[in-house]
Structure 1
Amino acid sequence: MAYTFSKDLETGNQLIDSEHRQLIDAVNNLLTACSTGKGRAELANTTKFLQDYTAKHFGNEEKLQIQNQYPDYVNHKRYHEDFKKVVAGICAKLEKEGPTIILVGEVNSAIAGWLINHIKKEDAKVAAHIRSRA
């Protein structure tokens, strides 16, 4: 099941929304590869991209939160740090065990599910806070 960047995922911040689109696209690319029997081959590319890109993206989000004095910044940053550990754990498993179907499923549930939920709940709060300051 591919993920769609829908209206309910928009934060209203052009940079953040475009980065969210790229993250969702990376997960969708993995799902497409899986549906054509190439999921294991694509797994390393996807996890490496997610590890690098989430660090960049979270940094941009956190900078925006600091600039706008987001009151729940500390918790939001902790969510980001926890997620980076999940991605690092998946990368470590990939390194140790190689690409497996189980790991592909983990990327889909642990990473894609978390991203969608985080954008809808936490990033939406940040966006609302920023809009309220305008």
Structure 2
Amino acid sequence: MAIKWTEDLSTGIEKIDDQHKELFRRVNDLMDACTKGKGKEEVVKVIDFLSNYVVMHFGEEEKIMKAENYPGYDGHKTQHESFIKKFTEFKEKLEQTGPTVDLVVKMNGFLVDWLINHIKKTDRALGDYLKR
């Protein structure tokens, strides 16, 4: 089941929203591959993509927060660090065991849950602050 971008996920920051939409596309590619029995191959592509993309994306968000003296910066940055830690665990597991079905399923669930919850709560709060 694909995750869909909806306007209630919009932060109002075009650059950030576009990056979130790209993340949704990549996670959907992974989920689609899993339903077609190609998840093991696709997980490697997604992990490679995310390794670079999240660093760039989180950096963009953090740069905006610093520039605007966002009071929620520390908590937001902590969430980014938590994601990177968990993601690194997935990456290490992939290197140790290869892309097992279990790994694909767990990573899928983590990515979907994190994206929806982080964007709806944390990133939207940043967007609301910047609109003031």
TM-score, normalization by structure 2? 0.97
> How many Å separate the matches in 2 of 1:10 and 1:107?
24
Deviations, residues 80-108 of structure 1 (Å, cap 9, x unaligned): 01100111110000000001111111111
**Counterpart residue identity of residue 65, structure 1:** M
SS of 1:31's partner is: helix
Alignment of 1:1-134 (within 5 A): 1-132=1-132
Q: Where does structure 1 differ by over 3 angstroms across 4 or more consecutive aligned residues?
A: none
SS of 2:85's partner is: helix
- Runs of 5+ unmatched residues, structure 1: none
Identity of matched residues, %: 42
- Runs of 5+ unmatched residues, structure 2: none
Deviations, residues 18-64 of structure 1 (Å, cap 9, x unaligned): 00001111100001111111110111110111121111000000001
> How many Å separate the matches in 2 of 1:30 and 1:108?
7
The size of the alignment, in residue pairs, is 132
> How many Å separate the matches in 2 of 1:103 and 1:47?
12
> How many Å separate the matches in 1 of 2:87 and 2:48?
9
**Counterpart residue identity of residue 23, structure 1:** L
TM-score, normalization by structure 1? 0.96
Aligned Cα RMSD in Å? 0.7
Displacement of 1:11 after TM fit? Answer: 0.6
